[in-house]
Structure 1
């Protein structure tokens, strides 16, 4: 989904832009939001800001609209896992072998293998 912000929307604070994006996505994907529990992971303090007693009129309208869906807000604590996912996603599909390309420098990836029952961790050295 994409939407270009126009006019005054470009001058909204980061939290307002995040709330606007959430409202637009909820509107476009209304059947999914009604059928499933949606949890929003963000580094913005949305829950704290959206449920303050003093909000601007537009934010209050968005909060009322979003309250229909029972959306949970959860703080995104770390991006470490996402870094590893992005790294793997960007790897070429066919891996070349160093012997196939003599004279080229190759990077070696060492992973520390940290893993727990409740969460996993990653340590990378290139």
Structure 2
């Protein structure tokens, strides 16, 4: 198999080759079906180009769609499950897949203007939590952090974050919303590109369909992990904090300082001491 990693120039029209890879299949891999050999090659490429692909969206150009086969295969054998785990870390899109059409919103009405929502979930040894940040058209942020006091998988926390974020947006009277998350699995399942087979996730997806109907326009977009740090911090805080029932925590004010605290700690009336 052969692969090439390319990048478009600033004009967006010309492509420049960055990396070439080639591999000879072993005897076992050579007996795979054509689609399975494509999947095997894609996984092999992602492992060697991880530093290029991890923080960016990658367009996959191939004659067949290996992502659809891997994430929608009715027969999950050992190697397919292994490929799922490896590829779920990346944001890869097959160029032949249909893109979601977005309608425009009326900019004259504040409720009709487009808002943004970022969500993330956290599941660790301390607990489970979700974090959501809703951003108004003027840039005002509305953070939401919820502690989940029941057993969750990572994917369940992501769905809980999305559901509770949409409910908060509905409460605010938002009609047009762009949703962002670093979970490629959740985003592609919500948009219908990937099929949901986990019985624990199917009710969440059905609930999301009902919530989406309450918006005039809503679209879902994948976000790299480094651009979703704040919601990740909120989710981690909610998972780790210990609260009594009914306790309301005031919003956290985050300030920015460009100098350390001791810089202005000077007593002006004591000139005998040197200044630093």
TM-score, normalized by length of structure 1? 0.55
Shift of 1:30: 0.4
How far off its partner does 1:47 sit? 3.3
Helix, strand or coil at the partner of 1:20: helix
Other-structure match for 2:26: 6
Q: Which has the higher helix share?
A: 1
Deviations 1:54-96 (A, max 9, x none): 32210110121011012112239xxxxxxxxxxxxxxxxxxxx
Matched, 1:17 2:37: yes
CA contact (8 A) 1:50 1:63 kept: yes
Partner of 2:52: 32
> Which residues of structure 2 form unaligned runs of 5+?
1-20, 98-276
Cα distance change of structure 1 residues 55 and 74 upon mapping to structure 2, 3 Å threshold: farther
1:9 and 1:17 in contact (8 A); partners too = yes
Higher-Rg structure is 2
- Give 3-state SS (helix, strand or coil) of 1:55's partner: coil
CA distance in 2 between counterparts of 1:59 and 1:19 reads 9
CA distance in 1, matches of 2:58, 2:49: 11
The number of residue pairs the alignment matches comes to 76
User: Is 1:49 aligned with 2:102?
Assistant: no
Structure 1: which 5+ residue stretches go unaligned?
Answer: 77-126
* Aligned-pair Cα RMSD in Å: 1.7
What SS class does the counterpart of residue 60 from structure 2 fall into?
strand
Q: Is the 8 A contact 1:44 1:75 kept in 2?
A: no
Tell me the secondary structure at the aligned position of residue 64 of structure 2: coil
Moved over 2 A (4+): 45-48
Q: Deviations over 1:85-119 (max 9, x none)?
A: xxxxxxxxxxxxxxxxxxxxxxxxxxxxxxxxxxx
Greater fraction of residues in strand: 2
TM-score normalised to structure 2 length: 0.26
- Larger RCO (alpha carbons 8 Å, 6+ apart): 1
